């Protein structure tokens, strides 16, 4: 996950605080020494306690998958071992204000897009039918239309208008909505057990049927 490092319009420098809270990383800000929770983006101790940072849209995926869409990307070349996680064991978390929901990757791979509502906002949480390592969170609102996405071969289809969408960029490639693009929304990956640690009252999305 990535947060905007601004507080009251000021750019703030953060460092690794070195301790875990809820089995997750904590930061400190160089300005006040406040301690921040990485998953929550919230200060849990110090002068900024209770303040939260803005969450930005990001994606956790394989490097090869990322390069297919973003071949111009530069990355730090540093020695590292193989990552010890499997995306299929994780969930995508969407948090808007006081409302939070988790969408298991395994469910999205099996049943297709999750058409849901979080904090009153219609959203779609999707896994690319052509690459199970690629996922996104989209707004389902286009002008006055709320789309309902389903898998249609290598694309998604809006069952309301019949328009087909490219799953990678969220652009309608035909139909009444052709040319329009779904807005990306913030979401991040979490192991289901860790999700319950930080959002004990959060819900898990259950596919229809």
pLDDT digits (tens, 9 = 90+) for 40-70: 889 999 999 999 998 888 777 778 878 888 8
What's the average model confidence in pLDDT over 158-176?
95
Cα separation, 68 vs 140, in Å, equals 25
Domain boundaries, given as residue ranges, for the chain: 2-56, 70-204
Tell me the three state secondary structure of residue 57. coil
Give the model confidence (pLDDT) of 8-42 as tens digits: 999 999 999 888 888 788 999 999 999 999 888 89
* Selection from 204, 207, 206, 208 nearest residue 94 by Cα: 204
Burial group, residue 104, by CB count within 10 angstroms (0-12, 13-18, 19+) = buried
Query: What are 146's strand-pairing partners?
Result: 141
So what's the pLDDT on residue 83? Answer: 66
Query: What are 118's strand-pairing partners?
Result: 121
Per-residue pLDDT for 153 more than 70? yes
3-state SS track over 140-169: CEECCEECCEEEECCEEEECCCCCEECCCC
CATH hierarchy code of domain 70-204 = 2.102.10.10
């Amino acid at each position: 996950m990535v947060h905007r490092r601004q507080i009251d319009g000021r750019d703030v420098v953060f460092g690794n605080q070195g301790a875990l809270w809820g089995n997750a990383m904590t930061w400190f800000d160089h300005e006040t020494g406040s301690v921040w929770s990485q998953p929550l983006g919230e200060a849990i101790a110090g002068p900024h306690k209770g303040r939260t940072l803005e969450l930005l849209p990001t994606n956790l995926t394989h490097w090869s998958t990322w390069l297919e869409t973003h071949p111009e990307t530069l990355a730090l070349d540093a020695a590292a071992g193989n990552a010890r996680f499997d995306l299929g064991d994780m969930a995508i978390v969407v948090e808007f204000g006081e409302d939070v929901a988790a969408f298991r990757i395994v469910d999205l791979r099996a049943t297709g897009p999750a058409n849901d509502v979080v904090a009153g906002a219609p959203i779609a949480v999707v896994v690319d039918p052509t690459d199970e390592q690629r996922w996104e969170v989209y707004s389902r609102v286009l002008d006055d239309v709320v789309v309902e996405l389903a898998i249609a071969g290598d694309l998604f289809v809006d069952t309301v208008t019949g328009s087909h969408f490219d799953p990678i960029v969220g652009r309608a490639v035909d139909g009444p909505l052709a040319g329009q693009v779904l807005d990306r929304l913030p979401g991040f990956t979490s192991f289901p057990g860790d999700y319950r640690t930080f959002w004990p009252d959060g819900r898990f999305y259950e596919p229809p049927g």
